[in-house]
Amino acid sequence: MSRSIRPKRLLEVPAPAKLNLFLHINGRRADGYHLLQSVFMLVDWCDHLHFEQRPDGVISREDLSATRLPTDDLSVRAARALKEATGCALGVHIGLDKRLPAEAGMGGGSSDAATTLIALNRLWGLGLTRPQLATIGLQLGADVPFFIGGRNAWVEGVGEQLTPVSVPSARFIVVKPPAGASTQRIFASPELKRDSKTATIQGFAANDSRDGTVIDLQKILVLGHNDLQPVAQALCPDVGRCIQWLQGHGLQGRMTGSGTAVFAQLPHAMNPADAPGDWTVRECSNMDAHPLLDWCTD
């Protein structure tokens, strides 16, 4: 691409991951979609994206890390969807520094799409509100509106019902084996538990939280579970090995989402040097809000 059509690069912007503190399947709709409950929590492990406005209307992308993504990844699809929804004549060159592991259940692709929508709304001067961006984002994936919403959330329905909640500051360790597991195979499995008892925000709220919006981490980690985990472990035994490794360090691990990453709250420092060399091991902290929360209005 010619330098003559590349204006000043924006500062890089983050696309944070999320952890599912629990994931219960409560039933299944007639159209096959599963009804779930979860708490989505933002963490400070992020992809990073760069955006350069193009006056020629072209949407292009380059990989800024060793990870090579499909040409039509979610950041490109998000830019295209925003152009189609608004009729914007401008284009963009996206530089994607992919730092989150694939097939982890941490929402990496959805977060990239959300950050793209938020950043281009600002770069292109479109002035769309957060709900308008979320409507576009929902076409790209069920988790995209969560990242656009920018707050930790109690999630229900098929993932579209979001209620903001607060989560106390804490440290976590995330472990991802190299193998993944097919989300489609997990949800299609006849072994998948689909009748977990419906929970309430108040049931997981801190005792001093009268409005039920402050989540008690200990309650949710003790009383909650991930209904997808047994099926995922059968498809990818490394999930169980990761959990056993965490147990060996005195930690209670749990799978996040439908990927193969597992996590545990980290009440003390630990040395992960004994983890297998092909595992990705990362310590991270939760976040109160998305770093780009103030980039669009409600």
Residues making up the binding site for ATP: 101-111
Query: Of 18, 83, 98, 176, which is the active-site residue?
Result: 18
CA–CA dist 239, 270 (Å, integer):
20
Asked if 294 is an active-site residue, the reply is no
Query: Of 143, 216, 227, 238, which is the active-site residue?
Result: 143
- Which of 204, 209, 208 is CA-nearest to residue 219? 204
Which residue ranges make up the annotated binding site? 101-111
CA gyration radius, the chain: 19
Asked if 18 is an active-site residue, the reply is yes
Q: Counting beta carbons within 10 angstroms of the beta carbon of residue 281, is it exposed (0 to 12), middle (13 to 18) or buried (19 or more)? A: middle
Residues identified as active-site:
18, 143
